[in-house]
C-alpha cells in the first residue's frame, strides 16, 4: 500500500474512533479512573529493573478532551515511588522529550491542546511509556493522532535498550485491525477500564 491510501485509511479511522469515544457515557469515564489504578496495582506491568530493585521511571501524558482520565493513576504511581515524567512535543518529525513531573507541578500549554512540563524541568529517559491512543488492535498496533511522535520515540528508545510501552484507553477503542506502515511501533500492553492485556 502506498503512503496516501494508508494515510487516508488512518484519517477515516480517526474520525470513527473519535466519534466512538465521544459516545461513551459519563459514568464509563468516571468508573474508569479508579479501575485503571486497581488493575495496574494488581498486575504490575512494569517491574523493578532486573538485578537492581530500582523502581522504574515512567512517562505518561496529561489527558485532554475525552481521553481516558489517567490522573488518578499518575497519583498512584507517584505514591508507589515511581519517578514520573511527561512529554514535551518537539518540532514535527522529531521524537518526544521527557521531563520530570510530579503531582502538583505546573504544566504549560503545548501544541494542539496538550499540556506539558516546563522546558527547564530535568530531562529523563523513562523505562516505560504510558501511551495515549485512538484505537488498538490484537497485534499491539495503535492509532494515534497522526503526528508519529510516539512511533519515532519508541523506535529510538528501543534502539538503546528495552522499553515497555503500555497503551491506555477504553475497551471500545479495541478494533480488529489498525492500518499500519513500516514506521509504526507496537505496544507491549494495553490497559483499559476492564483489564490489562499483553501483546505477543
Sort residue 51 into left (φ over 0), alpha (ψ -120 to 50) or beta.
left
- The angle subtended at Cα 123 by Cα 118 and Cα 125, nearest 5°, is 135
Low-confidence ranges of the chain (pLDDT < 70): 1-2, 48-53
User: What is the pLDDT, as a whole number, of residue 200?
Assistant: 80
Residues pairing with 197 in the sheet: 190
Identify the CATH homologous superfamily for domain 3-198. Answer: NagB/RpiA/CoA transferase-like (3.40.50.10420)
Domain ranges of the chain: 3-198
The HSE-up count of residue 134 (CA atoms within 13 Å, CB side) is 20
Give one DSSP letter per residue of 133-186, joined into a string: -SEE-TTSBEE-SSS-HHHHHHHHHHTTS--EEEEE--GGGB-S-----TTPPB
Q: Pairing between strand 164-168 and 189-191?
A: parallel
User: What is the pLDDT, as a whole number, of residue 2?
Assistant: 57
Only one residue has cell 502538583, namely 104
Q: What is the pLDDT of residues 74-87, one digit of tens each?
A: 999 999 999 999 99
Cβ count near 71 (within 10 Å): 13
User: What is the pLDDT, as a whole number, of residue 63?
Assistant: 97
pTM (two decimals) = 0.94
Provide, rounded to the nearest whole percent, the portion of the chain with pLDDT above 70: 96
Query: 17: helix, coil or strand?
Result: helix
Amino acid at each position: 500500500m502506498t503512503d496516501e491510501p494508508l494515510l487516508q485509511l488512518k484519517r477515516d479511522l480517526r474520525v470513527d474512533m473519535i466519534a466512538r469515544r465521544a459516545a461513551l457515557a459519563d459514568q464509563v469515564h468516571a468508573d474508569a479512573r479508579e479501575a485503571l489504578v486497581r488493575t495496574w496495582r494488581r498486575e504490575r506491568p512494569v517491574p523493578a529493573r532486573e538485578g537492581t530493585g530500582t523502581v522504574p521511571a515512567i512517562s505518561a501524558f496529561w489527558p485532554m478532551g475525552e481521553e481516558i482520565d489517567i490522573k488518578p493513576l499518575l497519583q498512584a504511581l507517584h505514591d508507589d515511588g515511581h519517578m514520573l515524567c511527561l512529554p514535551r512535543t518537539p518540532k514535527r518529525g522529531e521524537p518526544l522529550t521527557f521531563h520530570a513531573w510530579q503531582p502538583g507541578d505546573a504544566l504549560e500549554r503545548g501544541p494542539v491542546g496538550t499540556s506539558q512540563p516546563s522546558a527547564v524541568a530535568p530531562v529523563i529517559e523513562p523505562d516505560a511509556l504510558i501511551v495515549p491512543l485512538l484505537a488498538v488492535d490484537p497485534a499491539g498496533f495503535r492509532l494515534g493522532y497522526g503526528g508519529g511522535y510516539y512511533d519515532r520515540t519508541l523506535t529510538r528508545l528501543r534502539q538503546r535498550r528495552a522499553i515497555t510501552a503500555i497503551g491506555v484507553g477504553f475497551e471500545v477503542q479495541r478494533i480488529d485491525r489498525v492500518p499500519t506502515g513500516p514506521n509504526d511501533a507496537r505496544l507491549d500492553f494495553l490497559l483499559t477500564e476492564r483489564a490489562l492485556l499483553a501483546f505477543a
